[in-house]
Amino acid sequence: MTQLLSVKNLNKRFPNFQLKNINVELDGGLVLGLIGENGAGKTTFLKCILNMMHIDSGEVLMLGQNMNNSEKDVKKDLGVVFEQCPFGDHIEIKDVADIIKKIHPKFNEAKFYDYIEHFGLPRKQKIKTFSKGMKMKLSIVTALACDPKLLILDEPTSGLDPVVRGEILDIFSDFVSDEEHGIIFSSHITSDIEQIADYVVYIDHGQIVFNKEKDEIRDNFAIVKMTVEQFSHFDPQLCLGYEKNQFGVEALVENKSEIQEAYPELIFERVNLDQIMRYHSKGGK
């Protein structure tokens, strides 16, 4: 299994924000999902590892090479999709193909048009007439047609309806199935992350809250429901965040099995990534 990404102690400081001590690794055959609120640092992190922003300290190895020394060679094997479509409004799909094949040595025009046909994108319309979802599909198609080893995706399913999102996620799953390719996938649609990711990195205020296998999150995290009276006897150190409502208290916990053993009378429910972010942000509210 090939290591596609190694980030060690990455720091990037801005006047009012900092990425602090970010450590992330990704091997071939795996999908890493990035979650976090708006402004948490997800897009900044992606731009830092792509050398689009100078980092203050740390090391980024991509495809086994240092990005400071080998950026041009590394980027031949990357596919990158950001939320905003990079193509001009007044060109058509054939113009996109003509541009990319001139600047990317691995662009596969036949594969490009196969994907264009698969997603039903109109060949003879100006891109300015495309919906947000159509523009995103074009960006994804272009990235895949360049035969990348690593896909770096920022909100790749934003603006897509559930059916097309499912088709895109299936393509991503096929992409990593040979255990040589990998995906870094940042999204606010956490259900997509839950469907496709092998690992989940949760970033909040520029720091990693956790970097865990998806199965570990599913098995270890839970929402605990209890009365106010039960909560008064519950160890507050076990709460990652909670909220009170008219029915009692709901708390986010880790190490579910151990807590169930200590408090067998309480109700434990499976938690999703949205709930983890919600309760974590609330803290002790």
pLDDT of residue 83: 83
Q: How confident is the model at residue 1, as a pLDDT?
A: 63
Assess contact for 128 and 90: CB atoms under 8 A. yes
Q: What is the pLDDT of residue 283?
A: 65
Task: Specify the DSSP class assigned to residue 247.
Answer: T
pLDDT single digits (tens) 223-255: 999 999 999 999 989 999 999 988 899 999 999
So where are the chain's domains? Answer: 3-217, 221-282
And the tokens for 42?
């997800």
Detail the DSSP E strand segments found in the chain: 3-14, 17-27, 31-35, 57-62, 65-66, 78-81, 150-154, 182-186, 199-204, 207-213, 222-226, 239-245, 248-253, 267-269
Question: Which pLDDT belongs to residue 285?
Answer: 45
The single-letter code of the amino acid at 67 is: M
In this prediction, the residues of the chain whose per-residue pLDDT falls under 50 are: 285
Q: How far apart are the first and last CA of the chain?
A: 44
At the topology level of CATH, where does 3-217 sit? Rossmann fold (3.40.50)
Concatenate the DSSP letters of all residues of 124-177 into one string: TS-GGGS-HHHHHHHHHHHHHTT--SEEEEESTTTT--HHHHHHHHHHHHHHTT
Supply the pTM of this predicted model.
0.91
Confidence (pLDDT) at 175: 93
